[in-house]
Amino acid sequence: MIFDRIQNAALYRSLSPLLAKSFDYIQKQKPEDLSPGKHVIDADRLFVIAMDYETKKQDECVLESHFKYIDLHYYFSGTELIGIGSLTNQDAVKTDKTADYSFYEAKEISLLGVEPGHFAVFFPDDLHMTGIIKNKKEAIRKLVFKLAVESF
C-alpha cells in the first residue's frame, strides 16, 4: 500500500507508466468536470471510476481486495476513514474473480484518516474498506483508478 498527498506524486511516478498516467489525469481534472461513472483512459489497462457517496458506519462498509487491478483512490472532497488489513487471518466471505473482488469479514483492520488531496494505492494483497464515517457523515467525491496488474 502507498498513502500520500498528491503533491508528492513525483516520488511514485517511476513505479509504473500506468501510475504516472493516473497522476497526470488527476492533475488535469477538475472534480466538477467529470461525470460519475467509468471513464476509459487506456483500454482495459487503465480506467477511472468517478464516485460520489456519503460516508457510513464501519459495520455497513465492506473489506475488499482485487486480483486483476491495482486501485488508486484519489480524494477531491470530504473526509473519511479507510480500514486497511492484510490477507493474514482474514476469511473471504465472497469472491468473484470475473468481477475482480473478494469481500472479507473484517477481523483485524487499522483505520487511516483521509482528506482532500490524499491518495492511496492498494495492491492485490492490500485489503481495504472505504467510506467509513470519520467525525460525521460527509459527502465524498473521489476517483478510483484501476491499473491492470499485468501492465504494472
- pLDDT on residue 32: 79
Q: How far apart are CA 40 and CA 133, in angstroms?
A: 30
Type and span of the H or E element at 27 = helix 17-28
Q: What is the pTM of this model?
A: 0.95
Question: In the CATH scheme, what architecture does the domain 2-151 have?
Answer: Sandwich (2.60)
Q: Which of 64, 62, 31 has its CA nearest to residue 48? A: 31
Domain boundaries, the chain: 2-151
pLDDT by residue for the chain (152 residues), tens only, comes to: 999 999 999 999 999 999 999 999 999 988 778 899 999 999 999 999 999 999 999 999 999 999 999 999 999 999 999 999 988 878 899 999 999 999 999 888 999 999 999 999 999 999 999 999 999 999 999 999 999 999 98
Q: How far apart are CA 32 and CA 43, in angstroms?
A: 24
φ and ψ at residue 127, rounded to 5 degrees: -80, 140
The rounded Cα 131 to chain-centroid distance in angstroms is 10
Extract the C-alpha cell encoding 48: 477511472
- Which residue type is seen at 131? G
Beta bridge partners of 69: 148
